[in-house]
Structure 1
Amino acid sequence: MRTHVKSSAGTGSSADPARTLALTLLCRAESENRPLDELIGELAVETAGDIDADPARDLDGRDLRFVRQLVAGVTKWRLHIDWILRPHSKRPLPELTATVRHALRLAVFQMRWLDRVPARAAVHSAVELTKCFEHRGAASYANAVLRNLTRADEPIAYPDRETNLAHHLSVVHSHPRWLVERWLSRWELPQTEALLRANNEHPLLYARRNPLRAGHDEFLRNLPAGAHPRQVDETTYEVSAPEGFFQSPAFVKGQAYVQDVAASEPVRMLAPAIGERCLDLCAAPGGKAIQAAIAGKDEIELIAVDRSPQRLRLLRQSTQRLGLSSIRCVASDGDEIPLGQRTGFDRVLVDAPCSGTGVFRRHPDARWNKRAEDLPRHAKRQLQLLHSGFRHLRVGGVLVYSTCSLEMEENDQVVESFLAQQPDARLDEDTSDRPPRFQSVPGRDEGDGSFAVRLKKVADHGEEPQIPREAV
């Protein structure tokens, strides 16, 4: 689907293409109720092909990065931006058209968070954008709101920190209040505030070197000039300046793949070895399956299962680029896996779908789509997947359950319920030199939020556990 935008020709508008495209993406994300990742992913495809009449046609790489910065920034800081705008708009923001509302948000984001954009330029661009899509009265209204804002002498009156801490943090750090309250009840204030700040930072790019294709020195030579890599461990590097990374020989020749430093821990705990049979139950888009295959020197048998054929296609493309032959992709929902007699796996990874509260900085719209009432539903499905993965594990085999959630309901409580229902399972403290439980929290630890627990199958009584309703 193309990102069509009404042309400004003949409207008297001088809206620039980058901001026009950013406004269009924001409006589409709202009207179509689609994740920003999908829309931006489509943008990347469109700019590589024939995009006649598309505003992205004349944008270079620098402009497209600016578009992504605008879209992600406005989405991430939406609550804070609306708090700033509200006193200066005579009409409630939800009553404005999506075009006017997002044009105003774009202006405030640029004025407050982008030092290189002067306030007058941000105001002018918002007015021109509104002219491009709306009648002149709407443009005049946008101009009046922003002029009122720029002329305001009083400092912004945020919710009082002393009397309403959760509300204050929610607005200042632009997070849903219910999440802030949850995290304050779990962690001390400094850690909670560090987490909120970390969620608003630009996500780092971590490249994992494929040692089957390149050593350390060759990998560094093939990175783009000015990448400034910081080595985190033997095969992981933070690419401080990622421009050009995906076009570099290091990536194109299969010498590296992208994986957050914390996301690599579950496979490290799994510790697959040469000759073993492994099952990745929720595999796509495939970073952990790739990591496991490389850990086994590509001399393992790895079945990568996912319900999405489209996402498995991405994994197949990655295995071809990286030169891996040990991964077999199977489309399945994880409950009934068409493996024939191929059971009794040595290692099973259940990287379960979850709320994703540990990866908010990578998905700027995700925080606004979460609900507390979703957590029990996630936990029920996670427990089902954990039982399904355990059925395919041989006696003495190792299973790692992992999520990218920070929430107890999806992590320790799921594992506790599973252990209470499955007498053949034990916490595995012997297989690896790594502890059997791992959790990282943004702002406290490097990388994203990640959780993992390693379990062992000590017997097989062949009985299907009865899962009580109240347990999930």
Structure 2
Amino acid sequence: MNHAATLPLRALAARVLLAVEQGQSLSQCLPPALAEAGDDQRAELQALSYGACRWFHRLDDELTGRLNRPLRRQDRIVHLLMIVALFQLRFSERPGYAVLNETVEACRALGRPHLTGLVNGVLRAAEREGAPTPGTDAARFSHPAWLVDKLRHNWPDHWQAILDANNAQAPMTLRVNARQTTREAYLARLADIGLDARPTEHAPQGIQLAQPVPVDALPGFADGAVSVQDEAAQLCTGLLDLHPGQRVLDACAAPGGKTCAILEACDGLAGVVAIDESADRLSRIDENLDRLGLDATVLQGDAADTAAWWNGEPFDRILLDVPCSATGVIRRHPDIKLLRRESDITPLAGVQMGLLEALWPLLKPGGRLVYATCSVFPQENHRIIQRFGKQQPDSRLAMPAVAWGLDTGHGRQLFPEIGGHDGFFYSVLEKPEP
């Protein structure tokens, strides 16, 4: 049994925000805060933390305008506490008086009693006057200015829709295990227990739920009937064009959703090798394989350092889902808005190109490599493929005709869609037979 939280809920949320500002992801800093919260507070703490990150740039713009001068660096946590309170005032049903009272109490609990008057005054004015009209696109769309500018430059016809989609809650999407059941049969099972769901538009095994539910509420989840996976991420198996007898490499495989999708999509593969650098995340691959009753060779290692792990036997298919800016999944990870820097993109493109160059020799003549990112930046996507094609004469673009995404000339770009899939990029390369 968990005891009452050592700190009030809003103080815990402010500490989470501070940890994000200092470079930790929500997946790193939220679990310890949730462990500290009372049993009945965890869902609200998670909602506050995600919501304050999602709307941070708009709320910060408003708060900065309401302060005569910035707080001292050692009082930064109180600035973030007021951001949490503003999030509740602007985006929740919580009564204003309760938000004010509880925020003042949290300010005291954080050891800043001398700032309670300021907190009270600023929030009273915010409640009385309502939200100001944002003065910049960064504040209006609640994204860092560099990201807004880069999207506007790269996608002049789509940037606003991308930013709006980033601020919407992502749906919960499932992948039906084709080895166990059909999508139609599983939709019927969901209907039987009163869960509203529909087939995804592009992924043949995908189901989108009208409302998210805990995985243990999904029929057959523990026995491997379904997995949670976004529709865009599911599209890789069709592009791989899998056939029995093939050897498949899933590079950068953790947490294993695509490894499992590959094994579900084609019975009789000669073998699937899943490699990832992170030992912690490799255990997630094993857990997913166990739950689904699937078998793969799981290796820890740097996919680019092939000499350290490759046995010399070439692969018929390679899925290269590269580390990227994750700008296509901001709606699922709103802390990316605070963590990502424009200066990250060029080094990431270097890593992506390095992985492509390192793994290409492992592909059999006649084989196929699928390059994937969850980014919306051309620098990480079609420009990588364009550059690789110029320097690699034995690579041929082989993107099949598909009904989804925008044709970039070197692959298909999916943008995040409100009520639909995440942002993803896919390109298909083939190595001609000699």
Moved more, 338-347 or 352-361: 338-347
Match of 2:13 among 2, 22, 28: 22
Residue 421 of structure 2 is matched in structure 1 by 447
Aligned partners of 1:6 and 1:133 also within 8 Å: no
| Structure 2 counterparts to residues 357-376 of structure 1, below 5 A | 357-376=327-346
Which of 172, 176, 189 aligns to 1:221? It is 189
Whether the aligned pair in 2 keeps the contact of 1:5 and 1:24 (CA below 8 Å) is no
Deviates more, 1:134-143 or 1:403-412: 134-143
Matched, 1:423 2:405: no
* Contact kept? 1:426, 1:458, Cα under 8 Å: yes
Cα displacement (A) at 1:344: 1.6
Give TM-score, length-normalised by structure 1: 0.83
Q: Please name the residue that 1:7 is paired with.
A: 6
Distance in 2, Cα, partners of 1:445 & 1:119: 30
| 1:262 matches 2:235 | no
| C-alpha displacement of 1:142 | 0.9
Give secondary structure in 2 for the equivalent of 1:358. coil
Q: How does 1:43-442 map to 2 (within 5 A)?
A: 46=35, 54-56=36-38, 58-59=39-40, 63-93=41-71, 95=73, 97-114=75-92, 116-152=93-129, 156-159=132-135, 168-188=136-156, 191-215=158-182, 216-218=184-186, 220-221=188-189, 225-232=193-200, 233-297=203-267, 299-325=269-295, 327-337=296-306, 338-339=308-309, 341-429=311-399, 437-442=411-416
TM-superposed deviation, 1:295: 0.9
Q: How many equivalent pairs are there?
A: 425
Over 3 Å counting, the alpha-carbon distance change for 1:88 and 1:273 in structure 2 is same
Q: Is the 8 A contact 1:293 1:300 kept in 2?
A: no
- Match of 2:220, SS state, is helix
Matches of 2:37 and 2:343, distance apart in 1: 40
Aligned equivalents of 2:223 and 2:148: distance in 1? Answer: 43
**1:38-91 superposed Cα distances (whole Å, 9 cap, x missing partner):** 2234567x4xxxxxxx333x32xxx42222111011112111101212232233
Q: How far apart, CA to CA, are the structure 2 residues paired with 1:275 and 1:43?
A: 48
Cα deviations by residue, 1:276-311 (Å, 9 ceiling, x for unpaired): 100111111111111111111264410001111111
Q: Distance in 2 between matches of 1:404 and 1:194?
A: 17
Query: How much does 1:253 deviate?
Result: 1.5
CA distance 1:400–1:261, shift in 2 (3 Å): same
CA distance in structure 2 between the aligned counterparts of 1:4 and 1:424, rounded to whole angstroms: 63
Aligned to 1:65, the other structure's residue is in SS state: helix
Aligned partner of residue 213 in structure 1, secondary structure: coil
> What are the Cα deviations for residues 360-417 of structure 1, in whole angstroms up to 9, with x where unaligned?
1111111222222322211111111111221110000011111111111111111111
CA–CA distance in structure 2, aligned partners of residues 124 and 444 of structure 1: 35
Cα contact 2:53–2:335 (8 A) shared by 1: yes
The CA distance in 2 between the partners of 1:406 and 1:395, in whole Å, is: 31
**Runs of at least 5 residues in structure 1 that lack an aligned partner in the other structure:** 9-14, 47-53, 160-167, 461-472
Indicate how the Cα distance of structure 1 residues 247 and 22 shifts in structure 2: closer, same or farther if over 3 A, else same. Answer: farther
Q: Which amino acid aligns with 1:65?
A: A
Name the CA distance, whole Å, in 2 between partners of 1:107 and 1:75.
Answer: 13
The answer to whether the 8 A contact 1:279-1:303 is kept is: yes
How far, CA to CA, are the matches of 2:218 and 2:32 in structure 1? 22
Give the direction of change, closer, same or farther, for the CA distance of 1:453–1:102 in structure 2 (3 Å limit).
same
Range 144-153 or range 314-323, more displaced:
144-153
Change (3 A) 1:429 1:97: closer
Contact 1:354–1:410 (CA<8 Å) still a contact in 2? yes
Q: Which runs of 5+ in 2 are unaligned?
A: none
Q: Could you report, residue by residue, the CA deviation over 1:423-472 in whole angstroms, capped at 9, with x for unpaired residues?
A: 11111257999998221012489311100110111157xxxxxxxxxxxx
How far residue 322 of structure 1 moved from its aligned partner, in angstroms, is: 0.6
Q: Which has the higher contact order (CA 8 A, sep 6+)?
A: 2
Secondary structure at 2:198's aligned position in 1?
strand
Identity %: 30
Counterpart-to-counterpart distance in 2, 1:83 and 1:319: 45
Instruction: Check 1:278–1:149 CA distance in 2 against 1; reply closer, same or farther (3 A cut).
Output: same
- Does structure 2 retain, via aligned residues, the 8 Å contact 1:275–1:296? no
